[in-house]
A and B are shown apart, each in its own frame.
Chain A
């Protein structure tokens, strides 16, 4: 009898341990999809209202471009998913850039900026497009001199960065601070993942299961921001060498950063070359091994996953649930003089 009792106690203990382990694992699995409470901020550039206000003015001010026609917002428009709904970025004098404008949304959470990840921080990224000849084509020294003569901006910089002056560093910090506040709003998926199942349709729920399971989308489109920041050659073809241009590392040949899927319905067309108009086509390309599966250095993450058309449609339905209300931003129409 004693032996039998001992076995019962042992069995019950094991059962409790297994149940708790499974619950802990499930909680951990759900936790990674939850919206973080805070925006990551660098120690030397805390977010303050004065910095956000200044950064917003600079972001929308076309006088930061060489001919006064283009602001950051031309290619990263709040009404177009913080992108521009064009295949390639268009800069001063209608010059076409080599890549699709990536969304600014949730870049605060990314550890590499640009499609090729050449900047580690938003501060490093901010001055690139201002100076690029196919974007704003502005001479930085000239711009800093111009801003230093603008009494409105002088006062705003003084308020935002007391005693630091108007320099390349404070210019970058201010723009980066505004960009850091551009975060996605609560989407139906966020309600669903917290337990309110009715917030997304049955097909979207099925799509999420395929997304994290059979289709392996979440191997890269992982976590709250639906990207782990990883670099892949997804077999689109084309001459753009991507991250390989920065350093000739074999794994970076034609590799580009995994984009966020937050608010993804708002920022078509898709991929670094803007070559795809619909989410269905984009999903089909990723889930069938890419456009040119026999190319060099094709990511091992890009494979034919044998998805049915219904499964692809369901994934698209699921991705639609990642869009929240467009962030309310009062777009400035008057700029400091």
Chain B
């Protein structure tokens, strides 16, 4: 019985889910900071002429999009509240901070 309100909350939260575009341009994540909520997605773009990557080692939001070719879009869903650091495995100077509420 207690699961019903939780389910409604989850459904509502997903209904309001938003996509945040993260461009990888000139070896920089743009924007460098994002404030999002659980269920939102990060959509990684690559405007450079070479490959990029994006990964997070956060315990609850772990992901690795692998090699991302130019002009390819890859989406990642945010799963749990946390402040996560997203880096490019190729270019360690690239850093994106995502605050997930």
B92 touches A230 (CB 8 A): yes
- Known contacts: A219-B50, A301-B51. The answer to whether A249 contacts B92 by CB under 8 A is no
A111 touches B93 (CB 8 A): yes
Q: What's the minimum C-beta distance from A159 to chain B, rounded to whole angstroms?
A: 35
Give the chain A neighbours of B27 by CB distance below 8 A.
Answer: 222, 228
Q: What's the minimum C-beta distance from B70 to chain A, rounded to whole angstroms?
A: 10
- Known contacts: A249-B64, A250-B64, A251-B67. The answer to whether A231 contacts B89 by CB under 8 A is yes
Q: What's the minimum C-beta distance from B26 to chain A, rounded to whole angstroms?
A: 10
CA distance A249 to B56 in the complex (A): 11
Q: What's the minimum C-beta distance from A232 to chain B, rounded to whole angstroms?
A: 7
Main secondary structure of the interface of B (DSSP, over half): loop
**Is the interface on chain B under 10, 10 to 19, 20 to 34, or 35 or more residues?**
10 to 19
A251 touches B53 (CB 8 A): yes
Q: Taking the complex as formed, is A112 at the interface, i.e. its CB lies under 8 A from any CB of chain B?
A: yes
Q: What's the minimum C-beta distance from A115 to chain B, rounded to whole angstroms?
A: 13
Chain A, 212-234, contact with B by CB distance < 8 Å: what is the 0/1 string? 00001001001000001111100
Q: Which of A229, A249, A300, A301 contacts B89 (CB 8 A)?
A: A249
Q: What's the minimum C-beta distance from B30 to chain A, rounded to whole angstroms?
A: 16
- Known contacts: A249-B64, A300-B67. The answer to whether A229 contacts B51 by CB under 8 A is no
Give the chain A neighbours of B50 by CB distance below 8 A.
Answer: 216, 219, 300-301
Q: Which of B69, B89, B93 contacts A251 (CB 8 A)?
A: B89
CA distance A251 to B50 in the complex (A): 14
Interface residues of A (CB under 8 A from B): 111-112, 117, 216, 219, 222, 228-232, 249-252, 299-301
